[in-house]
Amino acid sequence: MMREAKKRIVVAMSGGVDSSVTAALLKEQGHEVIGMTMRIWNASSFAGKNGEGCGNCCSHDDVYDARRVAEGLGIPFSVVNFEEEFQRRVIDRFCDDYFSGRTPNPCVLCNQSLKFELLLRRARELEADLLATGHYARIERESQGFVLRKGLDPAKDQSYFLFTLTQDQMARIIFPLGNLSKDEVRSHAARFKLRVAEKAESQDICFVPDGDYVRFLEEECGAGRMDGEIVHVSGQVLGRHRGTYRYTIGQRKGLGLAWSEPLYVVGIDAANKRVLVGEKEHLAVREMRLSEVHWNPAPPLGEIRVACRIRYRHREVPATVAPVDACSAKVVFDQPQQGVTPGQAAVFYDGDRVVGGGWIA
């Protein structure tokens, strides 16, 4: 994975165990390591609204942890402020997606726009050879170019979030943890005596640390403007709702409807402020269209067979995918799938290799 010569490497440090071990391993290998933390979200703005702190990769505690780890390793450390870009590229799209009837995945956008565009650019300004992160994935060079592969630990593989990486980016990025398990990473953290060796992992969206995305949306964009009807697939109006953004495809709980069979959200018509519900069989989808498609390393000439993952924790399923034009594709599943959700990412695999992906339209 590592190049033979010693390199100057910027490590994206979040204050967690993964990025801390990444920095420690690279320093141990003799590289010139520079720690860098992105300030992407003003945690005090969240704390000011409900009295709690932000517990994810943007809090003051996390910046403090990253700085202390860097000091312990004896490497330079700095904080770069990307708050405006994060607001514009990630949070604004997050809100727009929900108010347009989609269910967004902001982690993919953050990786694409912040880590591997802006932070990589900052690393190059420092004349760094490479940018390293603590992702559980692998980049390998083959005859046709760079390829992205799953991390060896299937429980931690994060390749799903990285499908937008370009050839130019992969030439300048390394994932030192791609061949390790989480247990091995924690063992390294203990060996290096890192202060974050036992630090818990963050699971929530960093700017919605309490998981209450409805509260966040209403504070950002206001409440009441998306209230409307809950409609059965037959056309029968069954009730009212308090915002289309409160619902996602496949949702069953919280509908508050009396019906002879269990009902699920099968569609969201944001333009008409309607939530469409139906029986479970109405969730089955045989094909879907993707937008903003990325191919690795290049688009196929025609349709190809893939294993398709439609959510991060979704089991990959056999499918046929074909480019429609330069930025869209059509996917046909061998068997109809439930929970196909506009706004989520769909990623294509050939074995452990990522061959492409896009956004469910």
- Tokens found for residue 333: 């599943």
Q: Which of 57, 58, 206, 308 is catalytic?
A: 206
d(CA 229, CA 239): 6
Q: Which of 54, 57, 110, 308 is catalytic?
A: 110
d(CA 200, CA 276): 39
**Which residues pair with residue 358 across a beta bridge?**
346
Q: Which of 194, 209, 205, 206 is nearest to 18 (CA)?
A: 194
* β-sheet with 237-241: strand ranges across: 237-241, 228-232, 274-278, 264-269
Helix 17-28 vs helix 60-73: angle between axes, to the nearest 10 degrees?
A: 20
Q: If DSSP codes are grouped into helix, strand and coil, which group holds residue 63?
A: helix
Residues with Cβ within 8 Å of 85's Cβ and at least 6 positions away in sequence, in order, are 40, 113, 114, 118
d(CA 324, CA 133): 33
Question: How deeply is 329 buried, as exposed, middle or buried, from its count of CB atoms within 10 A (0-12, 13-18, 19+)?
Answer: buried
d(CA 68, CA 256): 50
Active-site residue 308, yes or no?
A: no
Tokens 């190809």 belong to residue: 304
Q: If DSSP codes are grouped into helix, strand and coil, which group holds residue 109?
A: helix
d(CA 361, CA 359): 6
Active-site residue 206, yes or no?
A: yes
- Does residue 263 contact residue 250 with C-beta atoms inside 8 Å? no
Residues designated catalytic = 110, 206
